[in-house]
Amino acid sequence: MALRVDERARVRGSWLWLLWHCLASAGCSHRPQLRSTVPRRGFAKVAQRESEVADRLSKEPHRCVVQLFHAKHFPDLRMYCFVMELCSKGNLTSHIRKLRSNDSSAGFGEYVAPAEAFHWIGQLLLGLEHLHVMNMLVRDLKTDNVVLSDQGRADRIMAKITDFGLCRFGTEATGDWTFDAPPGTPAYIAPEVIKGQNYGKAADLYSFGAVIWVILTGGLKVLTAGLPKVEPPCAEMAHKWDYSVLAQNCKLIAACVQNPEKHNARPLPSGAAKELVLGLTRDEAEKRPSLPSLRRHKALVHLKLPPAPASSKQADAWLATLCCLSCGGHGCSLCRLMEDGGILLEDSPLRRRRPRKTPVPRRSSLQALVTRS
């Protein structure tokens, strides 16, 4: 169990009281993580929004979204506490930074995208689709907000979306900025949001395209404070409020895709991957591909994602095929469970394996005695 509890919780005698209260309220029997948030001035609305999203997600969980079991507000402590699923492998930024451990001021080493890269992209697509079906915009999708979980198995690492403080209920939004700043992280914000225009699901798709670029290339070949810069290219702001310049980020990503060496970037692994990133990070929101159409994209069609909108049950079945492909089609305990439950996809490789023999019913000792006589 990972606990991060603010010292202010001790005013009730012990942080154990706070832990007991949250877990008891959640009725949680899983391995949870307790996270506390003490809102800074002006950010109370962000914590409140995450609490509201947590309440909604606890009723409609999805394997590709971090499960939030319970949210509790302590007004007298000015603190929100969240009981959520523990994802022990850290976030995607840290994982990619470890893969770039050879990068230093002396030079930049070769980056090889994780073997699970496209599986993670498919999982993020399903998680994002689930949030859109629930009538929510993420508005802050980035590698910092993608966490990795091994689900108790070292050979199966999953990617999940987390951090919903900037979520919006409703998939259409005006261009108004709640905190006199565009919602999101500068390098990942869609151009229409920066320009103060109306925006919708396509804004999340822009962020998704930027995340895909980082996963497949490792980010810019630049060091910040001695560490590899694991993020997309971002225009330099002349001052703290110079947000308008960020509308040029889509052009910077396009330049990195088309001429990586000239712009301190690494090449994408294929022409299909280039087309995918360029399509998702287009300046015109209406020209970006939709989540359903991405299933047919050349870069993702091999994943055989479930049809849109995929239910949680269909997503579970698809995830089962991913983790069971390495078993050679003979079946492990998990894939047999999925098959017996009758929720495998029609084109699942597990359906094409050799049929199992029908078990011969065992005779009772009385039947055996009658047969002998």
Of these ranges, 51-55, 209-213, 345-349, the one predicted with the greatest mean pLDDT is 209-213
* Per-residue model confidence as pLDDT tens digits over 85-126: 888 889 999 999 999 987 777 678 889 999 999 999 999 999
Look up residue 334 and give its DSSP letter: H
Distance CA 360, CA 340 (A): 18
CB-based contact 217:265 (threshold 8 Å): yes
- pTM recorded for the entire structure: 0.78
Q: Domain extents for the chain?
A: 2-85, 92-310, 315-352
- pLDDT band per the 50, 70, 90 thresholds, residue 252: very high
CATH number, span 2-85: 3.30.200
Reading the block at residue 295, the tokens are 């299933």
- Supply the pLDDT for residue 71: 76
Neighbours of 341 (CB within 10 A): 12
* Dihedral sign computed on CA atoms, order 190, 192, 194, 198: negative
Mean pLDDT of 36-47: 56
CATH architecture of residue range(s) 92-310: Orthogonal Bundle (1.10)
Neighbours of 156 (CB within 10 A): 17
Mean pLDDT of 225-238: 92
Do the domains 92-310 and 2-85 match in fold?
Answer: no
Region of poorest pLDDT, from 140-154, 191-205, 238-252: 140-154
Q: What percent of the chain has pLDDT over 70?
A: 72
- pLDDT band per the 50, 70, 90 thresholds, residue 43: low
- Give the residues across from 59 on adjacent strands: none
CB-based contact 129:137 (threshold 8 Å): no
CB-based contact 187:210 (threshold 8 Å): yes
CB-based contact 211:239 (threshold 8 Å): no
Burial of 199 (0-12, 13-18, 19+ CB in 10 A): buried
Region of poorest pLDDT, from 68-82, 97-111, 190-204: 68-82
Residue 338 has pLDDT above 80, yes or no: no
* Per-residue model confidence as pLDDT tens digits over 157-179: 899 999 888 899 999 998 888 77
CB-based contact 301:319 (threshold 8 Å): no
Residue 372 has pLDDT above 70, yes or no: no
